[in-house]
């Protein structure tokens, strides 16, 4: 009530104090909520170290939310050292209790192979469980795996439906992706009007991709001509993309060389223009000197001599300027030749570099293909060995820790462990603690595990073709 402000003013500081009192008594939910407040800095200073400690206390009692929160901090290294293996384990415990956020986090680690082996099939299944609970992030990631056919067959129709569910929750990334499918008519009817509406919603939330598309739509007569041209643009294969990248690099070098040559030619033209202007000025001065000489023809000999000297100086200046003009032209020609030579060398270097990059890319792709083939062969071999070993006796996960027999109706308890329903119900009649850890159970509610039940049935059907073996453990 203090957090929501029901029945009085909202008071996060008092709420944090009360949660602290309950957490000190070992109340798991209070520990988890207090950890949330420490992590977010609500009702007091932020303290990630204390938040991680409290998440750990509540997680040890089987609190799914605390297990998910602790896993997140372990994965990112918040409040202490990073530990991806333990993060994956905590996500698994919380996911087994149906925690949507933990299912999505576990799926992400399974998909990327963080904290353990990569498993796209299980990642897709976990994303599916979280998406079924309405988690937008899981719906988007599952849609991506369905479009690419990762972890199972492709299903673009289902991917479009999931993006619609996430977009309806206001997720900008889902709105932008769904808009692209609607605009192109992928896996359903084309709807440009709805596509533009979704792009507008995503752009309003600050989604950069949506903002760029909306801007292009406005710049091209409200989007129709330019976006349709983009939609009709042919796809580019990996090989063509590498070739195009090399050609682009060559073109960029050639453009730079061409610009340098143009700049040199402009400098030469400017020098030539300056020399021509100076030559015209000198001609005007020469004509003016001749006019003065004629005017002073009847002057004393000394004046005539001075005029002659002045005229000689001007003639010499004109000669000097003419030489400067010739020198400038020669320098401009030499500079242009140097630039042309540099341009040719740059083109040759760009072509050589592009060819080297193409060869390197081809070699890397060949190495990747070979590594993928070897990995697939190893995985197939390991899978076959695993199936052969699994065929001999039931996996440990199929055995009830109370009866030590193969489970028929597996259920998950508050401690995160699975039991045969009948056995754990009989246990809970006279106990309130976990039969595995001895810790006090927060609640006695049981959750059916349909996935494990299907796996047990599949295993049993496989055993029918083999000699019957014991299904019990000592």
Domain 12-182 shares a fold with domain 396-463? no
User: CA-CA distances (angstroms) from residue 260 to 255, 265, 268, 335?
Assistant: 9, 9, 12, 11
Q: DSSP labels for 171-224?
A: -HHHHHHHHHHHHHTTTS---HHHHHHHHHHHHHTT-HHHHHHHHHHHHTTTTH
Confirm or reject CATH 3.20.20.140 for domain 396-463, answering yes or no: no
pTM above 0.85, yes or no: no
pLDDT tier at 336, thresholds 50, 70, 90: confident
Structure tokens that stand for 293 in this block: 């000489």
Distance in angstroms (rounded) separating the CA atoms of residues 72 and 118: 19
- The single residue listed with the structure tokens 């979704």 is 198
- The third-level CATH classification (topology) of the domain covering 12-182 is 1.25.40
Distance in angstroms (rounded) separating the CA atoms of residues 47 and 44: 9
**Half-sphere exposure of residue 63: CA atoms within 13 angstroms, side-chain side:** 21
Distance in angstroms (rounded) separating the CA atoms of residues 60 and 269: 82
Contact 76, 51 (CB under 8 A): no
List the one residue out of 132, 213, 165, 220 whose CA is nearest residue 451: 132
Average pLDDT for 209-224: 69
Distance in angstroms (rounded) separating the CA atoms of residues 360 and 266: 40
pLDDT tier at 235, thresholds 50, 70, 90: very low
Exposure b/e, 441-472, CB count within 10 A at least 16 = b:
bbeeebeebeebbeebeebeeebeeeeeeebe
* pLDDT of 446: 87
List the one residue out of 147, 165, 167 whose CA is nearest residue 157: 147
Contact 80, 49 (CB under 8 A): yes
Environment class of 322 (CB within 10 Å of its CB; exposed 0-12, middle 13-18, buried 19+) = middle
pLDDT at 288 over 50: yes
* pLDDT of 240: 45
* Rg of the chain on CA atoms, in Å: 40
- The domain limits of the chain are 12-182, 238-390, 396-463
pLDDT at 222 over 80: no
pLDDT tier at 249, thresholds 50, 70, 90: very low
* pLDDT of 62: 95
Environment class of 304 (CB within 10 Å of its CB; exposed 0-12, middle 13-18, buried 19+) = middle
Distance in angstroms (rounded) separating the CA atoms of residues 199 and 181: 12
* % of the chain with per-residue pLDDT over 90: 41
The CA angle 376-381-387, to the nearest 5 degrees, is: 120
* Main-chain phi, psi angles of 146, to 5 degrees: -70, -40
Environment class of 424 (CB within 10 Å of its CB; exposed 0-12, middle 13-18, buried 19+) = buried
pLDDT at 359 over 50: yes
Please list the residues that pair with 472 across neighbouring strands.
Answer: 405
Distance in angstroms (rounded) separating the CA atoms of residues 263 and 246: 26
Distance in angstroms (rounded) separating the CA atoms of residues 213 and 227: 8
Environment class of 37 (CB within 10 Å of its CB; exposed 0-12, middle 13-18, buried 19+) = buried
Structure tokens that stand for 39 in this block: 């992590």
């Amino acid at each position: 009530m203090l957090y929501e402000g029901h029945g009085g003013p909202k008071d996060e500081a008092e709420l944090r104090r009360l949660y602290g009192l309950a957490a000190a008594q070992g109340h798991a939910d209070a520990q988890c909520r207090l950890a949330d407040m420490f992590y977010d800095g609500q009702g007091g200073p932020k303290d990630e170290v204390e938040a991680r400690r409290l998440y750990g206390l509540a997680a040890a009692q089987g609190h799914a939310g605390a297990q998910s929160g602790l896993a997140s901090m372990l994965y990112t290294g918040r409040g202490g050292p990073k530990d991806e293996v333990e993060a994956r384990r905590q996500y698994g415990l919380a996911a087994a209790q149906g925690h949507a956020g933990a299912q999505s986090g576990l799926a992400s680690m399974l998909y990327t192979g963080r904290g353990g082996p990569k498993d796209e099939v299980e990642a897709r299944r976990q994303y599916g469980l979280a998406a079924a609970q309405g988690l937008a992030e899981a719906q988007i990631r599952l849609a991506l795996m369905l479009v690419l056919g990762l972890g199972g067959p492709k299903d673009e129709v289902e991917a479009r439906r999931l993006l619609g569910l996430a977009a309806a929750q206001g997720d900008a990334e889902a709105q932008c992706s769904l808009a692209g499918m609607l605009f192109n008519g992928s896996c359903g009817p084309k709807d440009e009007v709805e596509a533009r509406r979704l792009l507008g919603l995503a752009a309003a939330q600050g989604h950069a991709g949506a903002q760029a598309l909306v801007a292009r739509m406005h710049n091209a007569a409200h989007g129709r001509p330019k976006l349709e041209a983009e939609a009709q643009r042919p796809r580019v294969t990996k090989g063509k993309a590498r070739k195009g990248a090399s050609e682009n690099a060559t073109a960029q070098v050639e453009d730079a060389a061409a610009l340098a040559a143009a700049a040199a030619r402009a400098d030469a033209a400017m020098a030539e223009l300056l020399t021509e202007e100076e030559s015209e000025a000198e001609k005007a001065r020469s004509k003016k000197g001749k006019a003065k000489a004629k005017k002073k023809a009847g002057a004393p000999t000394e004046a005539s001599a001075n005029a002659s000297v002045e005229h000689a100086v001007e003639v010499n200046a004109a000669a000097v300027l003419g030489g400067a003009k010739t020198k400038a032209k020669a320098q401009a020609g030499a500079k242009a030749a140097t630039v042309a030579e540099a341009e040719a060398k740059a083109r040759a270097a760009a072509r050589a570099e592009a060819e080297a990059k193409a060869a390197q890319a081809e070699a890397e792709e060949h190495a990747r293909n070979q590594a993928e083939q070897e990995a697939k062969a190893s995985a197939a071999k390991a899978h076959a060995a695993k199936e052969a070993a699994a065929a001999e006796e039931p996996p440990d996960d199929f055995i009830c820790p109370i009866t030590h027999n193969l489970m028929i109706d597996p259920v998950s308890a508050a401690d995160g462990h699975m039991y045969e329903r009948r056995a754990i119900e009989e246990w809970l009649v006279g106990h309130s603690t976990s039969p595995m850890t001895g810790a006090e159970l927060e609640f006695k509610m049981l959750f059916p595990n349909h996935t494990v039940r299907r796996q047990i049935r599949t295993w049993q059907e496989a055993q029918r073709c083999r000699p019957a073996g014991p299904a019990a453990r000592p």
